[in-house]
Amino acid sequence: MKKILPLILCAAISTAAAGASAAAAEIKTAPHDTVFTQGPVNPYGKFFTGTSYLHMLSENDSVFNAPIGNVTFEPGARTFWHKHSGGQILLVTGGEGRYCERGQKPRVIKKGDVVRIAPDVEHWHGAGPDTWMTHISVETNVPNNKAEWLEPVSDEDYLGK
């Protein structure tokens, strides 16, 4: 038993390493400094069109009540339409993207921009059609802040046609 165990461990480790490097190879790195870690493919991808990446900079807890995440969007990627019952503040740290509120045309947002999204305003945010974009998302008025996800942003709405 003592002789078999290391072999099993070794096999498990090499399999895990192969899996990790394959996953890493699929992650495209933004062609700009994301300042904070870009992170893995966004686990909330079912509410996004295209590929985005999420790295939580500060997980929520009852001491701070302030979840802060770094979100990077590939060209063309954007959230679905959605709203936050407690609002949201976006700090754009890299690239150029789009922000749009219901009933308006998308507007360009770029590195250095701050977007304050009032509670319950329907909106979407994402990359430009040909440009990556990274923003930090700050959820405000936590714990009384829930995201409600709506329909995908059509190509027509995305392009502001």
Q: Give residues in contact with Mn ion (CB under 5 A).
A: 88
- Write down the least CB distance from residue 42 to Mn ion, Å: 13
The nearer residue to Mn ion, 36 or 47, going by C-beta atoms, is: 47
Q: Which of 102, 58, 111, 110 is nearest to 80 (CA)?
A: 102
> How far is residue 30's CA from residue 55's CA, in Å, rounded to a whole number?
14
The nearer residue to Mn ion, 88 or 134, going by C-beta atoms, is: 88
Outline where DSSP puts E strands in 32-144: 48-49, 52-58, 68-73, 78-79, 82-84, 88-101, 107-110, 114-117, 123-127, 133-139
Q: Which of 66, 100, 70 is nearest to 82 (CA)?
A: 100
Contact 130, 67 (CB under 8 A): no
- Write down the least CB distance from residue 155 to Mn ion, Å: 20
**Phi, psi (5° rounding) for residue 43?**
-70, -15
- Write down the least CB distance from residue 152 to Mn ion, Å: 14
The nearer residue to Mn ion, 52 or 88, going by C-beta atoms, is: 88
The CB-nearest residue to Mn ion is: 88
The nearer residue to Mn ion, 18 or 146, going by C-beta atoms, is: 146
- Write down the least CB distance from residue 100 to Mn ion, Å: 11
The nearer residue to Mn ion, 33 or 120, going by C-beta atoms, is: 120
- Write down the least CB distance from residue 125 to Mn ion, Å: 6
User: CB-based contacts of 144: which residues, under 8 Å, 6+ apart?
Assistant: 85, 86
